[in-house]
Amino acid sequence: GAVVSQHPSWVICKSGTSVKIECRSLDFQATTMFWYRQFPKQSLMLMATSNEGSKATYEQGVEKDKFLINHASLTLSTLTVTSAHPEDSSFYICSARIDRPTEAFFGQGTRLTVV
Amino acid sequence: GQNIDQPTEMTATEGAIVQINCTYQTSGFNGLFWYQQHAGEAPTFLSYNVLDGLEEKGRFSSFLSRSKGYSYLLLKELQMKDSASYLCAVMDSNYQLIWGAGTKLIIKP
């Protein structure tokens, strides 16, 4: 099946610094990539949807200046958490879709801890 | 609004059968997905239903009734490794996935 690679799998950073998370589709070209965050014992919360070459569409309540998404190619999307704070500590998961309607292929997730 | 309902938690015994229900109300329908998620890991795909009826895949089966806005995931011959959260998700008319909160399944020996 299709493989989505997310890196890093975990990161600890100091409050006020920025963290970049990469999401790559390894063996297919993803028309759309999604970024989710998931707090413990809660479901996935969609943060934004990105299409290659265009600006990401953010969900209500998600600060686009804080969570920068770049979808530079059909195989790579990045999420940068700028000026991270402890409340940004969460599990961030990307997923990619080849076309609609198909399943979403998920990356391994990134556990972000801001200290 | 859009809504996906599934039980918060279920408990079953190893070797038994369990059915996890999911009801939905969404703006349009382009399929229903079931995912399995172990703690601390990303979800993994289990099944996709877009037509009414039962889809069987090994120990797992998924059923859909579009007229009732209802689906279930059936797990047979339960194994301890099946302990996980099971997420129901519906693809709406905009091809966006609407996620349920997940059902935590606890398997007891």
User: Pairing mode, if any, of strands B70-75 and B18-25?
Assistant: antiparallel
- The CA–CA distances, whole Å, from A57 to A62, A70, B66 equal 10, 11, 29
Q: Who's near A102: CB < 8 A, 6+ residues apart? A: none
Q: Residues A95, A108: contact at Cβ < 8 Å?
A: no
Q: Residues A8, A78: contact at Cβ < 8 Å?
A: no
Residue type, A60: Q
* Mean pLDDT for the stretch of residues B56-65: 96
Q: Which residues of A touch B92 (CB under 8 A)?
A: none
Model pLDDT for residues A43-91, shown as the tens digit of each residue: 789 999 988 777 899 999 999 999 999 888 889 999 999 999 999 999 9
- The CA–CA distances, whole Å, from B95 to A9, B13, B92 equal 28, 37, 5
Q: Looking at chain B from residue 27 to 86, which residues have their Cβ under 8 Å from any Cβ of chain A?
A: 30-31, 33, 40-45, 48, 50
pLDDT at residue A100, as a whole number: 61
Q: For A90, phi and psi rounded to 5 degrees?
A: -170, 180
Residue type, B87: L
State percent of chain A over pLDDT 70. Answer: 96
Model pLDDT for residues B64-90, shown as the tens digit of each residue: 999 999 999 999 999 999 999 999 999
Q: Which residues of A touch B96 (CB under 8 A)?
A: 46, 49
